[in-house]
Structure 1
Amino acid sequence: MAEYIDWFNHRRLHGEIGLIPPAEHEDVLYRHNTVATTVAASVPSLH
């Protein structure tokens, strides 16, 4: 079962996202996402 999950997430080419593995697509998404990583970074200071 673990081998299937690894294949499904890391080696399977997914047609809806440009024939790349889902894990690679997710990596690209998070690398290019400019959203603040913490709540403190996203809330403007009141001081």
Structure 2
Amino acid sequence: YDAKKIVLGKDFWKKANDLIKVYEPLVKVLRLVDGDEKLTMNFIYEDVDSTK
């Protein structure tokens, strides 16, 4: 396959946007859990629940 053709195609960008919609909330929760600030479990559970 021609990489340029794939990257410039509408289907590629639609799938990329779909992946971002799925992974963005997960990354947000992972950053909260991995951060230096100590969060209460209730706060973390709320974010995880809203990510579902």
TM bracket, shorter-chain basis: 0.3 to 0.5
* TM-score where L is the length of structure 2: 0.36
More helix per residue? 2
* TM-score where L is the length of structure 1: 0.37
